[in-house]
Amino acid sequence: MSNLATLSWENFGRQEQNLEQHYNDVLQSLSQRFRENSAALQDEKKLKLEALYGQLLSCGDALTASKELIEHAQELHRCDDKYTFLQTVMPVIKRMEDFSKEEVELKVGVSMDFAPPPSDLTEVKHMMDSINVVPAPSAPVMNPQLVNSATPSSLRVCWSLFSDDTVDFYELYSRQISEDIATETMQDASVLRVKETHCVVKDLRPNSQYEFWVTATNTTGISPASEKAVYMTVPSPPVIRERECVSCLEAALIRWDSGNTNPVESYTLELCEDGETDNAVTESIVAIPTCECVVQLKPWKRYIITVRAVNIGGASEKSRPIRISTTGTFFHLLKETAHPSLCVLDDGFTIVYPDEDLPLSDMVFSDTTFNSCVAVLGDLIPVRGRHYWELEVDDWTEYRVGVAYEDTQRSSYLGANATSWCMRHIRTPSRHKYEFLHNGWSADVRITVQPLRVGVFLDYDSGTLSFYNTHLQQHLHTFRCCFTHNVMPCFALDKPGTLRIHTGVHTPSYITHTHT
């Protein structure tokens, strides 16, 4: 409130100075007119006095002539010689007759009235009319951004003004806040002239901050600029990474990309059961801080899932929806973990070890790739429940299948360390050999019928990992272990061949009954 009072006093101070300047200009103009009129009257007075003086001289000359004639006549009258008198007086009489005929103007011919000179006061009137008793506006006050007042490309900006201020128009300044710009100047700002105390600013960038300030103008002058306020446009919709989403009977791990250059405050995940009327949202998970979320779901359902990005400006439009099924465990292979000699086909679930090995010089290894075992990991299963998947092999394929911790050694073979458990098939000249390896040790198990489709069942609750011949519904082996961390499916080919993985399949009833 003290800031507003200070601005008000400053405003009235400026108005006082403005009025004082106006009145000084008017007084100066009137003083100039007075001096000009006084000079004109002095000139007229001088002319009148000169004319009056001339008339007085003429009158004096007439009186002198009359006096002389009268005196001359009196002298002649006193003369005794009448004849001489008559001869002398006749010319005088003649002169007196002529003088009497002359009209002597005895009235003052100069008017003593002084007509005021015409004065053009148009400029003074214009100056008086220009004096405005309406004060210049005070500085406007920018309002905070309102909820749902933005889109990805526009912002509705509002401000306030003192109720007794008169304003003809406002000028709204805007500038994007960018970390790339070290020094920002007024020349960088865009300006809009508006009549109201609000304005929709368009052609902006999504999920970007803009600062705004405004001035008010009337016939008296321009207000000081308001303080700057920061507004933010709504983000662009996220993009769900469908091939990186994982699901099981009771939950799903959804991953997405932001879709925005600048960081987003949070995300909202929305879901509904597929087939619901109008696919209305039945559940929302809000304030998700990162680009992934584990959501609890019901078994044996199919869901439609979308994601919105949220910032102070509001929520973005929905992402493109994906459909998630909870009929079984669904995951993708992590290509970034695959040995350079292992190919993951476009379907994402078929792995091939070609007959011709890559030259060692063409192999590119990283911290995440296997460098000894020709293997690949599946994505991390999101919840510690029951999970099931299958793999399909040819009778000559030598492979390893099982689970491993995320940090299992990439230089080690699956099953040869304490962080992986696997079933291994080896083809010998005499028979098909199967090993169930953990930490380099295998149980003594003989399998008489070669399984061409193997089922893998992981049960966190009971701490077991079981393998089955799905064609015969035959149990092959079970590891019993208390998994201290979540594990990842793992697959390897010990010799050239092909292996296809099946995810999202129902857990067979003979397996669920066994583990009930």
Mark whether 437 and 475 lie in a shared domain. Answer: yes
Q: Which residue has the higher pLDDT, 237 or 75?
A: 237
For residue 266, tell me if it sits in a domain.
Answer: yes
For residue 94, tell me if it sits in a domain.
Answer: yes
Mark whether 300 and 389 lie in a shared domain. Answer: no
Position 202 pLDDT exceeds 60? yes
Lowest mean pLDDT among 79-93, 231-245, 253-267, 280-294: 79-93
Residue-wise pLDDT for 83-136, tens only, equals: 666 666 666 666 666 656 666 555 556 566 666 666 666 766 666 665 556 778
Mark whether 95 and 159 lie in a shared domain. Answer: no
Please give the pLDDT value at position 149. 87
Lowest mean pLDDT among 69-73, 319-323, 340-344, 448-452: 69-73
Nearest residue to 295 via CA among 259, 255, 328: 255
For residue 308, tell me if it sits in a domain.
Answer: yes
Tell me if 303 sits within 8 A of 272, measured CB to CB. Answer: yes
Q: What would the mean pLDDT of 455-473 be, rounded to a whole number? A: 94
- 3's tokens: 């800031």
Please give the pLDDT value at position 393. 94
For residue 397, tell me if it sits in a domain.
Answer: yes
Please give the pLDDT value at position 138. 87
d(CA 78, CA 288): 148
Mark whether 272 and 347 lie in a shared domain. Answer: no
Residue count of the chain: 516
User: Which of the listed residues 191, 206, 232 is the one where a domain comes to its end?
Assistant: 232
Reported as a pLDDT band with limits 50, 70 and 90, residue 186 is very low
Tell me if 477 sits within 8 A of 381, measured CB to CB. Answer: no
Q: Which residue has the higher pLDDT, 19 or 198?
A: 198
CATH of the domain at 315: 2.60.40.10
Position 448 pLDDT exceeds 90? no
d(CA 77, CA 85): 7
Q: What would the mean pLDDT of 196-202 be, rounded to a whole number? A: 93
d(CA 442, CA 424): 10
Mark whether 270 and 419 lie in a shared domain. Answer: no
The angle, 0 to 180 degrees and rounded to 10, between the axes of the packed helices 122-130 and 2-77 is 160
The overall average pLDDT reported for the chain is: 84
Q: What would the mean pLDDT of 28-51 be, rounded to a whole number? A: 80
d(CA 377, CA 407): 11
Position 3 pLDDT exceeds 60? no
Q: What would the mean pLDDT of 232-241 be, rounded to a whole number? A: 94
Q: What would the mean pLDDT of 40-64 be, rounded to a whole number? A: 79
- 461's tokens: 């609750």
Residue-wise pLDDT for 365-382, tens only, equals: 888 999 999 999 999 777
Structural domains in the chain (count): 4
User: 40-53 burial, b for 16+ CB within 10 Å, e for fewer?
Assistant: eeeeeeeeeeeeee
CA angle 148, 154, 158 (to 5 degrees): 65
Enumerate the β-bridge partners of residue 157: 199
**Boundaries of domain holding 125:** 2-130
Helix (H, G, I), strand (E, B) or coil at 190: strand
Amino acid identity, position 68: E
Position 19 pLDDT exceeds 50? yes
d(CA 129, CA 156): 39
User: Which of the listed residues 77, 101, 130 is the one where a domain comes to its end?
Assistant: 130
Q: Is 344 exposed, middle or buried (CB count within 10 Å of its CB: 0-12, 13-18, 19+)?
A: middle
- 344's tokens: 């993951």
Percent composition of the chain: helix, strand, coil (DSSP 3-state, to 5): 25, 30, 45
Q: Parallel, antiparallel, or unpaired for β 322-325 and 314-315?
A: unpaired
Reported as a pLDDT band with limits 50, 70 and 90, residue 42 is confident
- 230's tokens: 């920061």
Helix (H, G, I), strand (E, B) or coil at 495: coil
Amino acid identity, position 151: T
Mark whether 497 and 361 lie in a shared domain. Answer: yes
Please give the pLDDT value at position 2. 47
Reported as a pLDDT band with limits 50, 70 and 90, residue 81 is low
Please give the pLDDT value at position 130. 59
Give me the DSSP letters along 308-361.
EEEETTEE-PPPPPEEEE-SS-B--EEGGGS-TT-EE-TTSSEEEE-SSPPPGG
For residue 403, tell me if it sits in a domain.
Answer: yes
For 278-309, the three-class secondary structure string (H helix, E strand, C coil) is HHCCCEEEEEECCCEEEEECCCCCEEEEEEEE
User: Which of the listed residues 208, 232, 256 is the one where a domain comes to its end?
Assistant: 232
Nearest residue to 214 via CA among 165, 164, 178: 165
For residue 136, tell me if it sits in a domain.
Answer: no
Mark whether 151 and 83 lie in a shared domain. Answer: no
Mark whether 224 and 252 lie in a shared domain. Answer: no
For residue 448, tell me if it sits in a domain.
Answer: yes
Position 171 pLDDT exceeds 80? yes
Tell me if 491 sits within 8 A of 401, measured CB to CB. Answer: yes
Q: What would the mean pLDDT of 43-70 be, rounded to a whole number? A: 78
Mark whether 312 and 337 lie in a shared domain. Answer: no
Mark whether 166 and 93 lie in a shared domain. Answer: no
Tell me if 405 sits within 8 A of 458, measured CB to CB. Answer: no
Mark whether 224 and 246 lie in a shared domain. Answer: no
Q: What pTM did the predictor assign? A: 0.66
Please give the pLDDT value at position 34. 78
Residue-wise pLDDT for 403-425, tens only, equals: 999 999 999 999 999 999 999 99
Mark whether 225 and 271 lie in a shared domain. Answer: no
Position 252 pLDDT exceeds 70? yes
Position 221 pLDDT exceeds 60? yes
For residue 210, tell me if it sits in a domain.
Answer: yes
Tell me if 397 sits within 8 A of 374, measured CB to CB. Answer: no
Q: Which residue has the higher pLDDT, 170 or 221?
A: 170
Tell me if 321 sits within 8 A of 305, measured CB to CB. Answer: yes
Question: What is the sign of the dihedral through the CA atoms of 348, 351, 357 and 359?
Answer: positive
Position 384 pLDDT exceeds 50? yes
Please give the pLDDT value at position 487. 93
Lowest mean pLDDT among 43-57, 64-78, 388-402: 64-78
Task: Select the highest-mean-pLDDT range: 28-42, 56-70, 83-97, 264-278.
Answer: 264-278
